Amino acid sequence: MTTVHDQSFATASPARHASLLTALVLAVAGYQINATMLAPALPDVMERLHTSSGPAGLAQTLFFLFAAIGQITIARLSDYLGRRRMLLTTLLFLILGEAVCALAPNIEIFIVGRMLQGLSAATFALSYLILHELLSPGKFGRALGIITAVNGGIAGVDAIVGGTVADTVGFRGIFLLSLLLTLVAIGVVYFSVPATNVPRPGTMDWKGASLLAVGLTGVLLALNEGGNSGWVSPGPLVLLVGGLLCLVLFPRVERGNPDALIDTSALASRRVWPLLLTTVFTLAGVFGMLNFTIPLLTQTPDAGYGMSATTSAVLFLAPASALGVIAAPLAGQFAPRIGWRRSVLIGVIGTAAAFVPLVLFPGAPWAVFAALAVLGITYTGYSLTALTGLAVESAPADKPGSVPGLNGACFGIGASLGIAVAASVVDAVTGGGPPTSGAFHAALWSSAAFVALALITAFLIKPASQPNE
């Protein structure tokens, strides 16, 4: 494999830098629009596939769960096989998942397609590692902000297009559009992204990866099913116990393994574990609200605002994404100067403040609109950028893909956890019937509780100047 060193790329032309960044933006956009464009189309999915909010929520939960699994396993695998090779492989998974969802005859096949798409979330971790290995710290911060801005949506255009397509041709059109974009992304990545690392010696820790994947799947499926079939029914209990058992066994298997999926010594550091928890709780709070509760609240007649998918996307999904495109690069520019940890605190405090009107005035569209606009700055701009930058900075030198991959997995874990809990709360309050305003309000409170936990764990992150514990 050809290796490109930092020094050689640092002297490359601005056009080459721009082509690299363009390729990586297209790569992560392929995944991201499958996350954000579908949100306003959830009611259409439920109608056309003859299903309810429970299975629709499960599809979203598994999408983000497999995003977590893909982030941590594929990022670590790239230490051995190379970033560029795994980036291209990940985009192929995305194309397959898009085709499956576009042709899905029922919710079961649709869920399989969403799981395949979720694996492509690894494009984010791979892009961060590629940028970190090629760019100077200053240029890395700015580029990181641009890539992270995509993580909150494509300036709101994706949500608007998703709502318009759902109102006209239906949800299948969304996956056909994203399939075309992904095909373009593969071509641009192939020609514009160089190989950046020499394959490391050792072998992939498949045993640890399997335990982690099974454990997370069991716990999150238990949370998703608990509100529907009952928290003490056999199915959720078996899933929960089995999942927790795998997660308990995971660190035992990893201990002493030189090729461990996760560096347990780094995981014990106060620089790392509070960061990972902050990522999980922040994503759980925002995604449960933004990608599940808000689309249903704004489009449900009587119990909600009764809007069309397009109007819902324009007023309630697009503002946060559009403002994030402006705020994220600025956060990436200033974070290296003021510190990544301080930037994390700024983002999480602002995100918590934005949730106050959401839970106090859910029946007032103006209050919800204003809160989501603020989240575009505090969450999409500051939180996502700072959490990612701190993860890259905190990784051990001999395992640069470990902490970014794990933090990327926490993005997926948090998103799937938040949606699973929000869907379960809605199901529990309504008893499986049509959603009510009370159910939406309860779901918003559950999301706010996650953000409150994120606020606590963010303050536990130890500054870089202090020794790790």
Instruction: Tell which phi-psi region holds residue 153, choosing left (phi > 0), alpha (psi between -120 and 50) or beta.
Output: left
369 in any annotated domain: yes
The answer to whether the beta carbons of residues 68 and 212 sit under 8 Å apart is: no
51 in any annotated domain: yes
Number of residues assigned to the chain: 469
pLDDT by residue (tens digit) across 81-93? 888 889 999 999 9
Mean pLDDT of 37-65: 79
pLDDT band for position 12 (cuts 50, 70, 90): low
pLDDT for the residue 350: 92
Closest CA to 388 of 282, 230, 311, 290: 282
In the predicted model, is pLDDT for residue 349 greater than 70?
yes
One domain, residues 213 and 108: no
Task: Return the higher-pLDDT residue of 195 and 242.
Answer: 242
In the predicted model, is pLDDT for residue 200 greater than 60?
yes
Mean pLDDT of 184-193: 90
In the predicted model, is pLDDT for residue 446 greater than 90?
yes
pLDDT for the residue 424: 82
Structure tokens at 232: 């003490």
Is residue 257 classed as helix, strand or coil in its secondary structure? coil
One domain, residues 199 and 223: no
**27-60 CB burial, b ≥16 within 10 A, e <16:** bbbbbbbbbbbbbbbbbbbbebbebbbbbbbbbb
Provide φ and ψ at 400, rounded to 5°: -65, -20
269 in any annotated domain: yes
In the predicted model, is pLDDT for residue 400 greater than 80?
no
Over pLDDT 90: what percentage of the chain? 18
Q: Which of 38-52, 80-94, 144-158, 446-460 has the lowest mean pLDDT?
A: 144-158
Which CATH number fits the domain that encloses residue 33? 1.20.1250.20
One domain, residues 441 and 292: yes
2 in any annotated domain: no
For residue 256, give Cα distances in angstroms to 76, 112, 132, 253.
17, 35, 28, 8
Q: Which of 213-222, 237-246, 269-278 has the lowest mean pLDDT?
A: 213-222
Neighbours of 261 (CB within 10 A): 28
One domain, residues 329 and 248: no
Domain boundary among 256, 276, 298: 256
d(C-alpha 442, C-alpha 15), whole Å: 50
Domain containing residue 306: 13-205+257-458
In the predicted model, is pLDDT for residue 201 greater than 70?
no
One domain, residues 433 and 320: yes
Task: Return the higher-pLDDT residue of 63 and 220.
Answer: 63
In the predicted model, is pLDDT for residue 402 greater than 60?
yes
pLDDT for the residue 154: 60
Closest CA to 383 of 465, 270, 264, 287: 287
Structure tokens at 224: 């998703």
pLDDT for the residue 193: 85
Tell me, rounded to whole angstroms, the distance of Cα 276 from its chain centroid. 13
Closest CA to 281 of 233, 235, 344: 344
| Tokens 């922040």 sit on residue | 282
d(C-alpha 299, C-alpha 167), whole Å: 12
Kindly tell me the sign of the dihedral angle through the C-alpha atoms of 186, 192, 197, 198.
Answer: positive
In the predicted model, is pLDDT for residue 227 greater than 60?
no
One domain, residues 415 and 339: yes
Task: Return the higher-pLDDT residue of 465 and 414.
Answer: 414
One domain, residues 220 and 97: no
In the predicted model, is pLDDT for residue 10 greater than 60?
no
pLDDT for the residue 301: 85
Cα-based angle 49, 55, 59 (whole degrees, multiple of 5): 90
Task: Return the higher-pLDDT residue of 235 and 356.
Answer: 356
pLDDT for the residue 353: 94
d(C-alpha 238, C-alpha 218), whole Å: 8
One domain, residues 97 and 185: yes
pLDDT by residue (tens digit) across 249-286? 888 887 777 777 776 666 778 888 899 999 999 999 99
Report for 228-237, 284-293, 303-312, 407-416: range of highest mean pLDDT: 284-293
In the predicted model, is pLDDT for residue 17 greater than 80?
no
Q: Give the mean pLDDT of the chain.
A: 80
In the predicted model, is pLDDT for residue 152 greater than 70?
no
Q: Which of 176-180, 185-189, 341-345, 463-467 has the lowest mean pLDDT?
A: 463-467
In the predicted model, is pLDDT for residue 28 greater than 80?
yes
pLDDT band for position 5 (cuts 50, 70, 90): very low
pLDDT for the residue 383: 84
One domain, residues 127 and 240: no
Mean pLDDT of 55-60: 80
The answer to whether the beta carbons of residues 67 and 416 sit under 8 Å apart is: yes
pLDDT by residue (tens digit) across 365-382? 899 899 988 988 888 778
37 in any annotated domain: yes
6 in any annotated domain: no
One domain, residues 58 and 39: yes
pLDDT for the residue 357: 92
pLDDT for the residue 285: 93
63 in any annotated domain: yes
pLDDT for the residue 420: 79
Task: Return the higher-pLDDT residue of 264 and 139.
Answer: 139
One domain, residues 185 and 234: no
Closest CA to 116 of 99, 101, 90, 94: 94
pTM: 0.69
One domain, residues 354 and 384: yes
Structure tokens at 191: 């020609």
89 in any annotated domain: yes
Domain boundary among 237, 256, 275: 256
- Structurally, the chain folds into a number of domains equal to 2
For residue 54, give Cα distances in angstroms to 66, 105, 114, 236, 253.
18, 18, 15, 14, 35
User: With 0-12 CB in 10 A as exposed, 13-18 as middle and 19+ as buried, what is 326?
Assistant: middle
Domain boundary among 219, 236, 256: 256
